[in-house]
Amino acid sequence: MTVPAIAAGAGNGTIITLPRDVVWIRDTSKNGPHGSYYAYLRGKRGDDCDWLRINKFPSGYEYPMHVNHVYWLFTILSGTLVLGFDPQHRKSGERFLPAGTIVQGLAEEPHYGRAIGETIFEIYAPCLKRL
């Protein structure tokens, strides 16, 4: 589902989505614990690439160890996302990512995530050429 947006000007293709316009959808997938929300700002669930999604994790939310298998761009918009790379969840294997952080990749690195404070981040899936 794509959220409603307003065009910035007549015919220029610019779209502006205000925070109040975001329609959050409860994530009911089998892949992780419940309690998170998402909204597509561009594209839709099931698109291979060129989609933009925002995720919202409540404070204390934890997502289990996983591998994405695709190259994505992440921007932390609010809160703090903690990415962990250690299977035993040792603190030495964690990176604290405050608002404003940009992450590129996470394609093949096993990782888990958790939120400190309500955390909102965007994920963009670029269409990459395969050689």
Those residues whose C-beta lies under 8 Å from the C-beta of residue 15, and which sit 6 or more positions away, are 5, 6, 7, 8
What was the pLDDT predicted at 6?
Answer: 54
Count CB-CB contacts under 10 A for residue 52: 16
Domain 6-125 belongs to what topology? Jelly Rolls (2.60.120)
In our burial notation (b when 16+ CB lie closer than 10 A, e otherwise), range 89-100 reads eeeeebeebeee
Q: CA–CA separation, 98 vs 43, rounded Å?
A: 26
Domain ranges of the chain: 6-125
pLDDT band of residue 3 (cuts 50, 70, 90) is low
Is the pLDDT higher at 89 or at 120?
120
Structural tokens at position 79: 């809160």
Query: How large is the average pLDDT for residues 49-74?
Result: 94
What element of type H or E holds 79?
A: strand 72-84
What was the pLDDT predicted at 57?
Answer: 95
What was the pLDDT predicted at 1?
Answer: 47
pLDDT in tens, 99-121: 999 999 999 999 999 999 999 99
Q: CA–CA separation, 69 vs 110, rounded Å?
A: 10
* Global pTM value: 0.85
pLDDT band of residue 35 (cuts 50, 70, 90) is confident
What was the pLDDT predicted at 131?
Answer: 47
Radius of gyration from C-alpha coordinates of the chain? 15
